[in-house]
Amino acid sequence: MTITNRNWMTIVSVFVISISLFLIPCDASRHHKPKINTIYQFGDSLSDTGNFIHEKNIGKSQMYTCNYPYGETFFGKPSGRACDGRLIIDYLPQALGLPLLNPYLVKKASFKHGVSFAVSGATALNTSLLSDRGIYAYYTYSSLDVQVEWFKTHLKSLGMIKDCNLLDDYSASKRLDKALFIVGEIGASDYASALIDERTPKEIMDLVPLVIQKIKETVGKLIELGATRLIIPGDFPNGCVPAVLTQSVSNALTELRTTYPHAVVLYADYYTSFFNLIKNADHLGFEKQNLLKACCGTGGAYNFDLFNICGDRRSGIPFKVCSNPDRRVSWDGIHLTQKAYSLMAEEIIRNLFPKLK
């Protein structure tokens, strides 16, 4: 996902009028632990644990997450995560006693307890649909459709599906019974690509129902393949995605719950979670004067320039990196810090995990 300076201004104004709930950090281990043995993650840079840097670079952007200072807080070196450390998807398995999710594109990695199929810059809509609308993928062609194909290939490798799309036997569906599927966040890169391609606001808004339809179809497909427990995160506020999107996503999920009453389909409200961080910044240890300022960037009021993002070495402009990322919400002007992600993960563990049964 991408946020331009202009969009940051929108965030500032939305932030001023937003009313959000109080967020209290707590010890996740005390909470209900659902019986989950596997996690499958689909999405973009919010949940990419290393796929993008293992893909063939399509050449329109630099693989900035390969570079210092990505990973400086955790792992001690770049891992392909768009963060100074761990992502939301790193905290969720930990709370369930499971290992970190390996990226699907790493050969010979273990996928015993799950896989991340997410790729930085991945769009919800496929490249043919986007290019019909004059929008091009800037980072990757591995859209949601591609990620679902990867998932099917993964099931085939386990012998769980053969040529048809149906699970082969009862024991296979039993196996997915204890799997948690997380579909998203996805969609922000569609809007960002449209912005880069200078589509009109109307053309961008026209993508919204298509993105929601794609997410809905994908969730339906996964349920038909055997998924019974799913979390669907919404978008962060990023200027061109209004709060109404949150409403349309939850309407889509209501329809899915009616169609598939045996599945648990939960919505993770990243939009509200983000405002909770901003609203409770003081209490959470974030620097009030730097709430919208990226920890790493090439300077400017928000330490952010879309065309010279942290980690992109092409311009040769040195990055200014803050001394303590834990005191910032924004890591690089697009993605959040490990600290921010850990707090958002706590909300999921506290509020959604008990509903997974």
Ligand X SMILES: *[C@@H]1O[C@H](CO)[C@@H](O)[C@H](O)[C@H]1NC(C)=O
* Gyration radius of the chain's alpha carbons: 19
Restricting to residues 127-146, name those near ligand X by CB under 6 A: 128-129, 145
Window contacting ligand X (CB under 6 A); options: 53-61, 100-108, 121-129, 274-282:
121-129
The CA distance from 272 to 264, in Å, is 21
| Closest-approach residue to ligand X (CB) | 126
- Find the shortest distance in angstroms from Cβ 282 to ligand X: 44
- Find the shortest distance in angstroms from Cβ 128 to ligand X: 5
Among residues 44, 45, 143, 330, the one annotated as catalytic is 45
Residues 6+ away with beta carbon under 8 Å from 192:
1, 2, 3, 238
Say whether residue 173 binds ligand X (CB under 6 A).
no
Cα torsion for 156, 158, 162, 168, to the nearest 10°?
A: -140
Say whether residue 221 binds ligand X (CB under 6 A).
no
Q: Which is nearer to ligand X, 153 or 324 (CB)?
A: 153
Which member of 126, 173, 290, 351 binds ligand X (CB under 6 A)?
A: 126
Among residues 84, 145, 269, 332, the one annotated as catalytic is 332
The DSSP call for residue 244 is: H
The DSSP call for residue 44 is: S
Window contacting ligand X (CB under 6 A); options: 86-94, 124-132, 193-201, 346-354:
124-132
- Find the shortest distance in angstroms from Cβ 208 to ligand X: 14
Q: Is the bond leading into 69 cis (omega within 30 degrees of zero)? A: yes
Write out the two tokens for 104.
């699907």
Say whether residue 214 binds ligand X (CB under 6 A).
yes
45 is catalytic: yes
Residues 6+ away with beta carbon under 8 Å from 109:
102, 103
Distance, CA of 249 to chain centre: 15
48 is catalytic: no
Residues that bind ligand X (CB under 6 A): 126, 128-129, 145, 214
